[in-house]
Amino acid sequence: MSVFDAHDFDDHEQVTFCHDRNSGLKAVIAIHNTNLGPALGGCRFWPYASESEAIKDVLRLSRGMTYKAALADLQLGGGKAVIIGDPAKDKTVEKLRAFGRFVQRLHGLYITAEDVGTTPKDMITIYEETRYVVGRETHEGGSGDPSVLTAFGVFTGIRACAYYKMGKEDLSGVRVAVEGLGHVGLDLVKRLSEAGASLVVTDINQPLLEKVSRQYGAQAVGVEEIFSADVDVFAPCALGGILNDATIPRLKCQIVAGSANNQLAESYHAKILEKRGILYAPDYLINSGGLINVSYEGPKYNLQEVMTHVGKIYYTLLEIFEAAKAHSITTSEASDCLAKDRFNKK
């Protein structure tokens, strides 16, 4: 099967397969749309079970970045990169630099950044081969780890959802289940705890799960139990495809709002959530804080300006919820319509 025939191919402008024999690098860079500007999206380092799984992921992720940038009012397009391998075992300086050379060959059409399996430190290594990289550590002229701003955006989005669905002005007493305690999930848990929310948490890392449970007084549950937790909000903060035929019937929440990309396994799952009366915050909008942050990177970087911009997620979500209600469509469809309207105007 060719890329053009792939289920997740969505008129992508360019898909580049990268192989460096000396370092062993195997990577894919997908550029979805550049109508609004150069494609910006992180580089994911992940042990995909097959090359087809890697291609599927990079196609879906790059598409999401186009929509994310459009809804965030950024003059950027959507792109993504994936490096095939286990970051704990296979990541080397040689592979990162080889990847940087492939990015350089695109001459600014794609700008890379940190993602799952990569770090701001890795961006410094990539920067040795190309200037088309953002998200480096602050002492190296970057804006640092963008996950803090991603978490702030998700927190802001949960506040908007609670207001729209529950009439709550704040999150005190709101029960939230957080799935995944990576950089974003951890910071989100901290913000939710400080806001007075009651927490249920899970992660595949048992020692980390126990530590977070003790630190924030959260109820720790198994990775499968989290779906049936009796909560107000379910916040997926791990990998995608988490909302599917098997998991949605188990949900007991009123709201789904989390940082994970591509939470809906298939587009029709948005309709199933709606039928169950569950308000869904489109993932590529609520998790756009990190993208907004790196878009400001440069000598005039101002954190307060970034946070003000990320804070607008609150109002964009309310706009989408109202549009979905007015047109009798899902929030996912309403979000897509608004994004397409923006990035198709050239």
> Please, what is the average pLDDT of the chain?
94
Helix (H, G, I), strand (E, B) or coil at 81: strand
Q: Any bridge partners for residue 82, and if so which?
A: 28, 44
Q: Which amino acid is at 58?
A: V
Query: Using CA atoms, how far apart are residues 258 and 180, in angstroms rounded to an integer?
Result: 10
Binning pLDDT at 50, 70 and 90, where does residue 343 land? very high
Q: What is the pLDDT of residue 7?
A: 85
Helices 331-343/313-327 angle, 10° precision:
110
What percentage of the chain exceeds 70 in pLDDT? 97
Q: How confident is the model at residue 345 (pLDDT cuts 50, 70, 90)?
A: confident
Model confidence over 203-229: pLDDT tens digits?
A: 999 999 999 999 999 999 999 999 999
CA distance 126 to 103: 9
Looking at residue 3, its pLDDT comes to 87
Read off the pLDDT band of 346 (50, 70, 90).
low
Closest CA to 99 of 75, 132, 71, 70: 132
**β-pair type (39-46, 77-84):** parallel
Token couple for 329: 């469509």
pLDDT at 230: 97
pLDDT bracket for residue 239 (50, 70, 90): confident
Q: Report whether pLDDT(141) > 70.
A: no
pLDDT at 171: 97
- 63-121 confidence digits (pLDDT tens): 999 999 999 999 999 999 999 999 999 999 999 999 999 999 999 999 999 888 999 89
pLDDT at 133 over 80: yes
Amino acid, single-letter form, for residue 257: A
Residue 311, CA distances (Å) to 64, 100, 165, 289 in order: 20, 32, 19, 9
CA pair distance 123, 45, nearest whole angstrom? 12
Beta-carbon contacts of 68 under 8 Å, excluding residues fewer than 6 positions away, are 78, 284, 285, 287, 288, 291
Identify the burial level of 62 via C-beta atoms within 10 angstroms of its C-beta, where 0-12 means exposed, 13-18 middle and 19 or more buried: buried
pLDDT tens-digit readout, 270-308:
999 999 999 999 999 999 999 999 999 888 889 999 999
> CB atoms < 10 A from the CB of 277, how many?
8
CA distances from 82 to 21, 115, 129, 239, 284 (A): 17, 9, 17, 14, 18
d(CA 171, CA 314): 14
pLDDT of 142 over the 70 cut? no
Catalytic annotation, pick one of 80, 91, 95, 165: 80
Parallel, antiparallel, or unpaired for β 14-20 and 25-33?
antiparallel
Helix (H, G, I), strand (E, B) or coil at 310: helix
**What are the tokens at 238?**
């791990």
Percent of the chain with pLDDT over 90: 88
Ramachandran angles phi, psi of 152, nearest 5°: -60, -40
Alpha helices, H only, the chain:
51-71, 93-105, 120-127, 147-166, 183-194, 206-216, 269-275, 283-286, 289-295, 303-311, 313-327, 331-343
* Annotation marks residue 80 as catalytic: yes
Q: What is the three-class DSSP state of 82?
A: strand
The residue-averaged pLDDT of 7-31 equals: 96
∠ CA 54-57-62, nearest 5°, is: 125
CA angle (232, 235, 241) in 5-degree steps: 125
d(CA 260, CA 234): 12
Helix crossing, 183-194 with 206-216: angle to 10°?
Answer: 20
For residue 1, pLDDT over 60 is answered with no
